[in-house]
Amino acid sequence: MAERKPFLLRIDPRLHDALARWASDELRSLNGQIEFLLRKALADAGRLAPGPRDRRGGTGARRTEP
């Protein structure tokens, strides 16, 4: 597994609570949810270079059913 860099993030408590609820709904940790959202935002903006797949064997994006 790739090395992870620790990073201190200070955010508004309301934002933290909303992210924590969303992470719970998606069955992710809060850290995993934040990383997922950042990865998706970077990919959508064309700013994330292609790299190795994540630990689950996917790209980090979840499939949505029609």
pLDDT band at 63 (very low <50, low <70, confident <90, very high): very low
pLDDT band at 2 (very low <50, low <70, confident <90, very high): confident
CA dihedral 28, 38, 58, 3 (to 10 degrees): -90
Per-state percent for the chain, helix, strand, coil, to nearest 5? 40, 0, 60
What are the pLDDT digits (tens) for 5-61? 999 999 999 999 999 999 999 999 999 999 999 999 999 999 988 776 655 445 455
pLDDT at 57: 46
Q: Alpha-carbon distance 54 to 36, whole Å?
A: 10
